[in-house]
Structure 1
Amino acid sequence: MTVEQAISEISALPPNDQLRIVQAIWDRLPDGVGTDLTESQRAELDRRWAEYKADPTTALSEEEFRERIRIARSR
């Protein structure tokens, strides 16, 4: 089976099953795989961290974050 065939079969599953597969694959990856950042990604993370440190009230709670996602998806 090719990767494309596996993706096609997985894509036909219900979303919750797809998520379980993603989680299972993620959990089996060796530590450090896929965690290298580009310089621009690192700079953006550093910028956001500095913004948060300067004013922690800019951060969203998990509930606020999920609500914003829900609203965005409903548009």
Structure 2
Amino acid sequence: MTVEQVINDLAALPPSDQLRIVQAIWDQLPRDVGTELSEAQQAELNRRWSEYQTDPSSALTEDEFREQIREARGR
């Protein structure tokens, strides 16, 4: 079975089962896998943090963020 086949099979599962599988895989990964940022990613984080510090009102609250996501998904 290929990775693509596994992914297709997983896509057929209910979201709750997909989340359980994601969590199980995540829990088995070494703690440091995939956590290092590229220079470009670090620069972008630094830029955003500086923008926030200059104008904290430029950030969304969690509720505002979730509402934007709901709207983008058409819910």
Classify the TM-score, shorter chain: 0.7 to 0.9
Residue of structure 2 equivalent to 1:9: 9
- How far 1:59 sits from its partner (Å)? 1.7
In the TM superposition, what are the counterparts of 1:40-55 in structure 2 within 5 Å?
A: 40-55=40-55
Distance 1:27 1:62, change over 3 A: farther
1:30 aligns to 2:30 (yes or no): yes
Give the gaps of 5 or more residues in structure 1. Answer: none
- Percent identical pairs in the alignment equals 68
- How far 1:4 sits from its partner (Å)? 2.3
Residue of structure 2 equivalent to 1:56: 56
RMSD: 1.8
Q: Take 2:20 and 2:46, find their aligned partners in 1: how far apart are those partners?
A: 32
Show CA shifts across 1:5-60 (max 9, x none). Answer: 22121111012211221122112221121112222111111100111122222221
SS in 2 for 1:22: helix
Residue of structure 2 equivalent to 1:70: 70
In the superposition, the TM-score normalised over structure 1's length comes to 0.82
In the superposition, the TM-score normalised over structure 2's length comes to 0.82
Count of residue pairs brought into register by the alignment? 75
Range moving further from structure 2, 1-10 or 32-41: 1-10
